[in-house]
Amino acid sequence: MLIRTMLWILPVIFFSLAGTEAFHFGKNNKNELLVLAPQNTSVQQASKDLGVGPIKKVVLGPIDEKMVAEGKEIFNSKCIVCHDLKQKKIGPPLGDVTKIRTPEFIMNMLIATTLMQQKDAIIKDLIKEYKIPMTPPEISKDQARSVLEYLRSVAK
């Protein structure tokens, strides 16, 4: 029964993605299959998980260097203690986070941290893995958007 279901669902997934831009497949550290999308997609994100919080839609354009500079400053003052771009620290590396999470998910994690930790299954799993919840960075939506832009810029 499972094989029959998979044989039906895989072509549906493939053909629904076929009309979109350059989707490719990869695996995360738990060996789960992920569909990765290019950075410049907003509506057609590979993962539709928006997280839990006030951010419902983020429209991405070309990378804004002014926002990158502000986001880097915020990242280096609020995030770098626990997060590196390339390796695990107290929390997971964030250099490629924009390749596996939607912009909405990332921004909701930054501005609705406690709510995400209470209600989002992905974040609950990360807390189990890293053994500590993230301290809310207490930043505004605009600042969170700048951090997102910085994370987009380092994921090139």
Mean pLDDT split into 10-residue runs, the chain, 156 residues = 41 37 37 36 56 95 97 97 96 95 97 97 94 96 98 92
Task: List the domains of the chain with CATH numbers.
Answer: 38-154 (1.10.760.10)
Q: In this predicted structure, what is the pLDDT of residue 3?
A: 43
At 99 the three-state DSSP class reads: helix
Residues 60, 76 contacting (CB under 8 angstroms): no
Q: What sign does the dihedral 64-68-74-75 (CA atoms) show?
A: positive
Q: What is the pTM of this model?
A: 0.70
What are the φ and ψ backbone dihedral angles of 36, each rounded to 5 degrees? -105, 140
Helix axis angle, 141-154 to 103-111, nearest 10°: 130
Residues 51, 103 contacting (CB under 8 angstroms): no
CA–CA separation, 30 vs 16, rounded Å?
25
Q: In this predicted structure, what is the pLDDT of residue 48?
A: 82
- At 88, list the tokens: 């695990």
- At 75, list the tokens: 């990242």
Closest Cα to residue 100, out of 150, 19, 29, 46?
Answer: 46
Q: In this predicted structure, what is the pLDDT of residue 61?
A: 95
